[in-house]
């Protein structure tokens, strides 16, 4: 895993500004979830069906486009695929 400095959520989405902006929604970055039968998603902390009202939901993430991080990620993926599939 590579972490790029000063890189926010959706860093590879060029329609976002390069200035970090807070978006009004939730994200599951702090949740530990598992899937039960018939597609039921369970919050493992509560052992109850997951909802976006759960305490583990991160609120109002920052988003910003980063051309530098996007390019670095694309190059890393290309290198990995070349190595894995023995491409030139």
pLDDT for the residue 27? 85
Please give the angle made by the CA atoms of 30, 81 and 17, to the nearest 5 degrees.
Answer: 50
Q: Is 81 helix (H, G, I), strand (E, B) or coil?
A: helix
Section 64-68 average pLDDT? 97
At residue 83, what are phi and psi to the nearest 5 degrees? Answer: -70, -50
Answer whether 0.85 is exceeded by the pTM: no
pLDDT, mean over the chain: 93
pLDDT for the residue 5? 92
Tokens representing residue 85 in the block: 């599939």
pLDDT tier at 50 (50, 70, 90 boundaries)? very high
pLDDT tier at 88 (50, 70, 90 boundaries)? confident
What's the pLDDT tens digit per position in 7-46?
Answer: 999 999 999 999 999 988 888 889 999 999 889 999 999 9
CA 81/CA 86 separation, integer angstroms: 8
Is the pLDDT confidence value at 1 over 90? no
At residue 69, what are phi and psi to the nearest 5 degrees? Answer: -70, -35
Tokens representing residue 53 in the block: 């009202």
């Amino acid at each position: 895993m590579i972490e790029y400095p000063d890189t926010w959520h959706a860093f590879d989405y060029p329609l976002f500004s390069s200035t970090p902006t807070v978006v009004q929604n939730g994200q599951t970055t702090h949740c530990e979830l598992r899937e039960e039968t018939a597609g039921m998603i369970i919050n493992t902390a509560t052992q109850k069906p997951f909802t976006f009202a759960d305490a583990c939901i991160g609120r109002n993430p920052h988003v910003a486009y980063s051309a530098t991080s996007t390019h670095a990620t694309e190059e890393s993926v290309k290198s990995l695929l070349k190595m894995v599939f023995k491409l030139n």
